[in-house]
Amino acid sequence: MENFKDSELVLAPCKYEYLDHTADVQIHSWGNSLKEAFEQCGVAMYGYMTELPSVEIKQSAYIEAEGHDIESLLFHFLDELLFLFSCEPNLICSRLEIQEFITEGEELRLKCKCYGEEFVIGKHPQGTEVKAITYSAMQIVNEPEKNRFELFVIIDI
């Protein structure tokens, strides 16, 4: 250990602060159909908010989403799932089943049954708060001929 003068051991007063912490994470999901890739993407979002094995299937809810293209359909789908969690009934879901999935025509829409339970602090480990879904760098791979269905979505956390 070096020797220091007393004056060298005096710490400066704090003249700093931390601002504007921003972060995001990209979800990549896939499936044997675009529908499955959507379901996987929604579950992935919930999996970021808690540890999914802690979630029991005790109740369900339906959400509906619309969009003028697949990107906006995905955005609104995730946004509805986030809403289901953020507001009553504060549902966290480990299983999603899209029952209607219309991705052609003027107005795209889907209806999804969401299985899970009310989020309870203590029972469900708190993961990271999802603040918003974004369109940033969103990618939809929808190639039935290659059996490739993949989604890339960035969420703000």
Residues 109-148 that bind a copy of itself (CB under 8 A): 115
- Of 5-13, 72-80, 103-111, 139-147: span binding a copy of itself (CB under 8 A): 5-13
Residues 50 and 125: beta-carbon distance below 8 Å: yes
Backbone angles phi, psi at 18, to 5 degrees: -110, 130
Q: Is 94 in the site for a copy of itself (CB under 8 A)?
A: yes
d(CA 33, CA 98): 11
Q: Is 87 in the site for a copy of itself (CB under 8 A)?
A: no
Judged by CB, which is closer to a copy of itself: 36, or 66? 36
Question: What one-character DSSP code corresponds to residue 62?
Answer: E
Residues 42 and 78: beta-carbon distance below 8 Å: yes
| Binding region for a copy of itself (CB under 8 A) | 1-2, 4, 8-12, 14-31, 36-37, 39-41, 43-44, 47-48, 52, 57-60, 94-97, 115, 152, 154
